[in-house]
Structures are given as C-alpha cells and as structure tokens.
Structure 1
Amino acid sequence: MRFGIAGWPALAFLGGTLLAHTETPVEERTPVPAVPTADPSAPELVTEEQAPELGPAPIPAAEESPVLPPADASPPVPAALVDHARKVADDHRARTGSPIDTDTLRARLGVPPQLAAAIAAQLA
C-alpha cells in the first residue's frame, strides 16, 4: 500500500512526459483550415510584406521631457545625521590625529558613497 501511495506521482510524471514527447504520425494529424472572414468590415491580417515601414520613435521636445536633477547634486542630509557624523569625525581625529576621510566615514556610518560625500562636504 505504501509503495502505491508513494509511487503514483512518479508514474504520473512519467506518463505525462511520454505523452508530451511522443510524436504523432503525419497521417493522424489534421490540418487546421484557415477561417475566412465572412464579415467584410472585419480587419484583415497584414503580412510582413504588406506592413508599412516604421522609422525610429520621435524624440520628445525639451519641454515634454521630465526635469531630472543634475548628476552632481548631492542628496539631502538630515541634520541629526550630520551631528552624528561630526561626533564620529571628532572621535576619529582624537584617536588617530588625522581628519576622517570619506571612505572611513561611509564605513562607520553605513551610508552610500554619495551620501557620505555630501556629509563630508558639510563637515569640512
């Protein structure tokens, strides 16, 4: 009984695989007839030869394009984060005797490079 219950999914998979991959003889295949449209107002299919040649899509005018911020614009930095970064920078200067660099600040705060650069600019 256990083998019948445990084995039926494998048998079903094998049967489905055999059905999916078994080739149907050519004699048994029935061609699908093309259905003519009896309605003259129905749209006709267009073949590749009949399709019009389309050019590239037009580029939108400057006033239609969305306004993007400049690439060098720094992200806004919350004041609390700047205060915390100042404490981290002061601690770093007290321990090492040198100012903190951007990579170390980024690693200590766990922020992305762009935000670390904006914070470092505000600290300087």
Structure 2
Amino acid sequence: MPLLYQCRWELKGKHADSITALSFSKSGQYLASASMDSRLCVWSPNQGAKFTIEGTAGFISLAWVDENTLLSGTEDGRLITVEFSNVLLRVTGFEMHAYPLECLDVRGNRLATGSHSYVSVWDLVPGVRLD
C-alpha cells in the first residue's frame, strides 16, 4: 500500500528562486530552506518564518549540527554557520572550497563536505571559533 500524505501547511513568500535544499532539525522543531536567491530561511512549522539570512551567493546545501546550529554550503564554496536560540545569535562563514559546496553531512564532531569532484572530512576543533 502506498504512503498517503496530507498537506499540513505551506511556507510561502520568502524565496524568489529555486529552493535547493530542505532539512528538518533533529527534533523536527525547525525546518531550514536554502535557495539560489541567496536566502536561507529557518521556519517553525507551528509559527511560520523564524528568520531569514541574506547572503551574497546562492545557498545550496544544509546540515544541522544540533537543534540551534545549522550549516549551509554556498555556490561560491563558503561554509556558513548559523547559531540561534529564540532569536538569531550569530552568522559566520569562511571559504572552504574553490567550487560550490554541494553536499554536507554532520556526525558527532565530524563534517563531510562535497564540492565538485572532492570529498573532504573535517574534525571540529573544540573551543575554536571562526569569527
């Protein structure tokens, strides 16, 4: 028997170009959307848009570190870190690859990135911040 889905809600009006990635936080409390319109949005499924980040390049990949920390890869090879609580706390970024950062995955203290034909694995260095 096929699965049957019923639309619960729709999130509209925040993106002006193709949505490239969607990702629920680990608890399902938040949904992130990445788009080629250089916008990254974090949504609350019960309350709508929480906040929107305007970048300088399209956001193309997403991965949650924990319930309040989100990573996104951009079309210009940057890794963007978004930290929030009830409000947006901090957005940082740095150039990680020379090609679009197309794939991200986080497990524990490790981050895997995929860019063009490259796969890299990174270790989180405790106590080090890139701001």
TMscore range, shorter length: under 0.3
Bigger proportion of residues as strand: 2
User: TM-score w.r.t. structure 1 length?
Assistant: 0.18
Which has the larger Rg? 1
TM normalised by structure 2 equals 0.18
